[in-house]
Copies of this chain bind each other. A is one copy, B any other.
């Protein structure tokens, strides 16, 4: 007899993108920001390292919540920090979804949602997107009637496409919670002011944010949820008391205080995104117009797995992804993270020899 829960036995476990530890790689595979974090963040971590690390961190992240609240124009009790957005998603599912209940999300999208549903023993349903990444909102809104939780990344991954608040509001399940995963929200051309959280429907919506991408801090693991205090109060019961450490809290506060640094970096990323998109099209790729820090590219004649492999042999990592279509067939493509201009030049130089 297995010692494990049956839900653990039957899953493989989530496999994150490759993270080579040695240097020399051009990493365009896990949507990290190619620019370093603010020097003020580095200074804040060093100061915290000199501080009282023998003492537990502030379990309610007072300073961070005040700052995030000001940034999003809500009160601090609307904010819940977590050890990365991954932990926030785990907390959300453990707060709202019982074993056997239904979780829904677009497909293709962030596949971690499915793993987290599996761990919880929840049922899950993929809400299939059209081949052009659009969504039939009439049929989708009808499909989520029995969902306890609908999770939607906006912009979506791997497409980088965006839905409007009006479209998303149709996906708030009548007896459940809508999670709007804004991991890539800062890379949009037009900023999102969080308007969807207010009003009656907003009482069943949770926005999740991360410092990993736009603030260049994937290494410190810091995300936060924004939602009505009634929802946050329940989520707080499901989290570990000290889920964010003294160093990441100090880094997160300094990062939010230096908005200009983040804005300058995402502006560079957006410029490079346009250039990469144009160059890929010249090389025979179809590229979905992206509002995130990556693009989804498919080639009309070359095999994506071969391109991925050939690039890897040249120490360039992109993400090869394969998805199932509605009829049972599969489709695939390459998700390419926006690197620095130098990294993208190097990528294009090698690509030139491949396609």
CB distance from A293 to the nearest CB of B (A): 11
User: In the complex, which residue of chain B has the Cβ closest to the Cβ of A21?
Assistant: B58
CB distance from A282 to the nearest CB of B (A): 29
Stretch with Cβ within 8 A of B (4 or more), from A96-104, A158-166, A184-192, A326-334: A96-104
Q: Which residues of B contact A208 (CB under 8 A)?
A: none
For the complex, what is the distance from the CA of A236 to the CA of B1, rounded to whole Å?
20
Given contacts A5-B97, A245-B247, 11 further A-B contacts (CB under 8 A): A3-B175, A3-B234, A6-B98, A8-B237, A19-B58, A46-B49, A48-B219, A53-B220, A87-B243, A119-B237, A245-B248
List residues of A (1-49) whose CB comes within 8 Å of B's CBs: 1, 3-9, 11-14, 16, 19, 21, 27, 30, 32-37, 41-42, 45-46, 48-49
Q: Does A177 contact B (CB under 8 A)?
A: yes
Binary interface encoding of chain A residues 107-141 relative to chain B, with 1 for a CB under 8 A from any of its CBs, else 0:
00000000000010100000000000000000000
> Chain A residues in contact with chain B, CB under 8 A?
1, 3-9, 11-14, 16, 19, 21, 27, 30, 32-37, 41-42, 45-46, 48-59, 62, 83-84, 86-87, 90, 94-99, 119, 121, 175-177, 204, 212, 216-221, 231, 234, 236-238, 240-248, 251
Q: Which residues of B contact A62 (CB under 8 A)?
A: 21
Is B86's CB under 8 angstroms from A240's CB?
yes
CB distance from A23 to the nearest CB of B (A): 9
Is A19's CB under 8 angstroms from B56's CB?
yes
- What are 11 A-B pairs at a CB distance below 8 A? A1-B175, A4-B95, A5-B94, A5-B97, A8-B237, A16-B56, A42-B50, A57-B221, A86-B243, A94-B119, A99-B99
Is B45's CB under 8 angstroms from A49's CB?
yes
Q: Which residues of B contact A242 (CB under 8 A)?
A: 16, 84, 86, 218, 221
Is B5's CB under 8 angstroms from A98's CB?
yes
Is A53's CB under 8 angstroms from B37's CB?
yes
User: In the complex, which residue of chain B has the Cβ closest to the Cβ of A45?
Assistant: B49
Q: Which residues of B contact A3 (CB under 8 A)?
A: 96, 175-177, 204, 231, 234
